[in-house]
């Protein structure tokens, strides 16, 4: 589902499915629109995921959809 933030009329995807690179566990979450998520604790194996070098957040590294600021072309969150 595409949603436009209050400050923008451009649509973006608000949901992203994170996949743990250690155990393969997936989790579909609503991404924050006003902050980056730098850490994510895997619900399968408990590993704390951190962004890969060059990525701004865990959604850009492990999600099937990049974070809202990247989708909107605004750069890192």
Consecutive 10-residue averages of pLDDT for the chain (77 residues): 51 95 97 90 97 95 94 81
Backbone angles phi, psi at 30, to 5 degrees: -85, 125
Domain positions in the chain are 11-65
59 and 37 in contact (C-beta within 8 Å)? Answer: yes
Q: Give me the pLDDT at residue 10, please.
A: 73
Distances (CA, A) of 58 to 1, 32, 64: 20, 12, 11
């Amino acid at each position: 589902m595409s949603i436009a933030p209050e400050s923008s009329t451009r649509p973006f995807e608000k949901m992203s499915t994170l996949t743990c690179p250690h155990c393969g566990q997936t989790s579909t979450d609503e991404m924050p629109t006003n902050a980056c998520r730098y850490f994510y604790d895997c619900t399968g194996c408990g590993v704390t995921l951190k962004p890969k070098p060059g990525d701004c957040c865990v959604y850009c590294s492990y999600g099937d959809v990049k974070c809202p600021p990247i989708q909107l072309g605004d750069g890192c969150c």
